Amino acid sequence: MKPLELNGDAVGKGNLILVNPSHPIRNEITKERLVPVSKETIQTPVFLEKQSARMLSEIISILNSGDRITPVSGFRSLTEQIEIYNTSLAENGEAFTKKYVAIPGCSEHQTGLAIDLAENSGNIDFICPDFPYTGICGDFRKLALRYGFIERYPEGREEITKISHEPWHFRYVGYPHSVIMNENDLTLEEYADFLKGFPEDGKHLCFSYENNQFEIYYLPVAAEDIIHIAVPEGIPYQVSGNNKDGIVMTLWRAQ
Ligand SMILES: [Zn+2]
């Protein structure tokens, strides 16, 4: 077994962090971890966290969608989020802004793990771009799950997410979590709680998909904690905080 030491900082880092009005961002992503996506097709480059960007370009390349799918907005700094929020307040009013624009400090766009996409047309709306459920966008949705992306603000879940239905906003949570969330019809808010039902010292979540087998469990971590866990040697694993109260371990058991 390989020993792994984690401290309270780990809670606010990783692909599974829950970011919403009740759970603001704890760690700003560093510039070195951001890369531009589809730089050749747009005037203003859109940035994403490296791994999410790699997975997005994989999907685009499999779909061979060229510039039919356009990234509209990816990473935003706190300053940019404040600007967007204030501009929307002035132009669209408070009710609209509260529905569609996250409060600065609580926007997934500040994590580098979220991207707004548009079906390319002459006229793209920056806040509410058109991204339908049919055609190339429908194909994107199916493939996106296998590459770790979820539609973050689905219809009918506004009570839970506190954001209106946004067919254009995708969040990278990583595979296999995207697939498990979809199979169980869970938002990220619900998934964070769902995973707490699989504690380290209890029954772990075992999930098989295609030829992969995963073992997933949750471990509470307080801010001042330094915890030691043992990871089986020779297998890939991922550690992610939930941005609430603990971390989630994902072990790739077999292929
Ligand atoms: Zn968005």
pLDDT in tens, 85-96: 999 999 999 999
Nearest to 238 by CA among 253, 223, 248: 248
DSSP state of 13: -
* 205: amino acid identity, one letter: L
- Among 30-39, 109-118, 187-196, the range scoring the smallest mean pLDDT is 30-39
Q: Find the 129 Cα to ligand 1 centroid distance in Å.
A: 9
- Give me the mean pLDDT over the 3-9 stretch: 93
**What's the pLDDT score for residue 181?**
98
Mean pLDDT score of the chain, rounded to an integer?
94
Distance of CA 248 to the CA centre of its chain: 15
Rounded Cα–Cα distance for residues 120 and 112 (Å): 22
Q: Find the 115 Cα to ligand 1 centroid distance in Å.
A: 6
pLDDT in tens, 114-152: 999 999 987 888 889 999 999 999 999 999 999 999 999
Q: Find the 61 Cα to ligand 1 centroid distance in Å.
A: 22
Percent of the chain with pLDDT over 70: 97
Q: Find the 73 Cα to ligand 1 centroid distance in Å.
A: 7
Across 183-214, b (16+ Cβ under 10 Å) vs e yields eeebbbbebbeebbebeeeeebbebeeeeeeb
**What's the pLDDT score for residue 242?**
98
**What's the pLDDT score for residue 122?**
79
**What's the pLDDT score for residue 34?**
97
- Give me the mean pLDDT over the 92-104 stretch: 92
* 129: amino acid identity, one letter: P
Domain ranges (residues) in the chain: 1-16+186-255, 19-172
Rounded Cα–Cα distance for residues 2 and 249 (Å): 14
pLDDT in tens, 25-37: 998 899 999 999 9
Q: Find the 198 Cα to ligand 1 centroid distance in Å.
A: 30
**What's the pLDDT score for residue 255?**
61
Q: Find the 255 Cα to ligand 1 centroid distance in Å.
A: 34
**Does pLDDT of 203 surpass 80?**
yes
pLDDT in tens, 150-177: 999 999 999 999 899 999 999 999 999 9
Q: Find the 210 Cα to ligand 1 centroid distance in Å.
A: 30
**Residue whose structure tokens are 């994989």:** 58
Rounded Cα–Cα distance for residues 54 and 197 (Å): 31
Query: Which of the following is catalytic: 49, 119, 151, 166?
Result: 166
**What's the pLDDT score for residue 66?**
84
* Catalytic residue status for 183: no
Rounded Cα–Cα distance for residues 172 and 124 (Å): 23
Rounded Cα–Cα distance for residues 11 and 26 (Å): 9
Q: Fold for domain 1-16+186-255?
A: Phosphorylase Kinase; domain 1 (3.30.200)
**What's the pLDDT score for residue 223?**
87
- Among 15-29, 32-46, 94-108, 152-166, the range scoring the smallest mean pLDDT is 32-46
**What's the pLDDT score for residue 43?**
65
DSSP for 150-201, written as a single string:
EEEE-TT-HHHHSS--EEEEEEE--TTHHHHHHHTT--HHHHHHHHTTSBTT
Please, what CATH class does the domain formed by 19-172 belong to? Answer: alpha beta
